[in-house]
Each structure stands twice: as structure tokens, then as C-alpha cells.
Amino acid sequence: MTDRWIPTTDRDQLVRDALVAVRSFSDSMDRMHGVLRSDMDMNGSDLAALRMLIVREQRGEWVSPHEIARHLAISTASTTKLLDRLAERGHIERRPHPADRRARIVVLTDRARSDFFHHLGARMVKMRDVMNAYTDDELRVVARFLDDMDDAMVD
């Protein structure tokens, strides 16, 4: 275990303040996802899989069942059950990979997108409203910061 880090300079204090803000934001996200799980009547793994699919879709990336298993750190058998549940509820479809006929991909349905918008739409509007107070350059820095934090947190 490492010793607790104590800021000793103004820069250290800014770094600490940023880390506290990241933790606070992460806590807010956890609470929002808890409400979303309840509202959508699904477990945490199912919601995490749908969130992963949304992010990857927005990046224009295909997602395989294996990638979902790795992302959630669950077995392939558990992944199959998870995907069966999500397909049965109309949230995902399994399709042939567009470039490799032997492989399958998992895609969101319009119903899943609609459900997410129904449950998150108002929050998304509030988040966009907050962003209106920032300049384009500030938003670029925020986006770069969050991307860098994402890279630092994921192995």
C-alpha cells in the first residue's frame, strides 16, 4: 500500500481538487445509473452492457460478444445469458459481422435507444445546458481530460 498523498504545492492542490471532482462526478454517475437500473428494471451488468454499446456505437465501432464479456469481466456463458435477456427484452440484436461472416456483432435496437432517451433525456438536456457556459476551447480540454482519465483507469 502506498502512503497517502498530501499536496505540498499550489499545483498539487489543483491536481487534488481535480481528482476530488472526478470522484464526485463518478459518484453522481453511479447514483444516476442506480436510478436508471431501477427505472429500466434491469441488473447492473445488463445496463453496463447497454452503456458500452451506446458508447461504442457513438464511436462507430462494432462490438462482439467477446468484447462485452471482457468489458464486464464475465464468462462467455454469462455473456450469452446476458445477451439472451437483452435480446428477449428487445434491447439488442445479434447480427453477422459486416466484414467477417464467421463473427457476430451485438447492436442496439431502436427500442433500446428510445428507452435510454426516455429515462436520460432530461438529464442529457441539463448536462448540455451546463456545457453552454464553457467556450469551445474549454470543452475540448474537458473532453481531452476525460479521455485521458478513461485511459488511465482502464487496463
Q: What is the pLDDT of residue 120?
A: 85
Q: What is the pLDDT of residue 58?
A: 92
Q: What is the pLDDT of residue 1?
A: 55
Nearest to 34 by CA among 15, 47, 21: 47
Instruction: Give the mean pLDDT of 49-71.
Output: 94
Q: What is the pLDDT of residue 101?
A: 84
Contacts of residue 92, Cβ cutoff 8 Å, sequence gap at least 6: 49, 50, 53, 83, 86, 106, 107, 108, 109, 112
Q: How far apart are the first and last CA of the chain?
A: 19
**In percent, how much of the chain has pLDDT > 90?**
73
Instruction: Give the mean pLDDT of 64-87.
Output: 96
Q: What is the pLDDT of residue 7?
A: 87
Question: Has residue 84 got a pLDDT over 70?
Answer: yes
94 touches 83 (CB < 8 A):
yes
**At which residue does the C-alpha cell 462467455 appear?**
76
Q: What is the mean pLDDT of the chain?
A: 92
Question: Has residue 119 got a pLDDT over 90?
Answer: no
CA distance 29 to 119: 14
Count other Cβ atoms within 10 Å, centred on residue 46: 20
Contacts of residue 54, Cβ cutoff 8 Å, sequence gap at least 6: 108, 113, 116
CA distance 20 to 22: 5
CA distances from 16 to 12, 23, 141 (A): 6, 11, 18
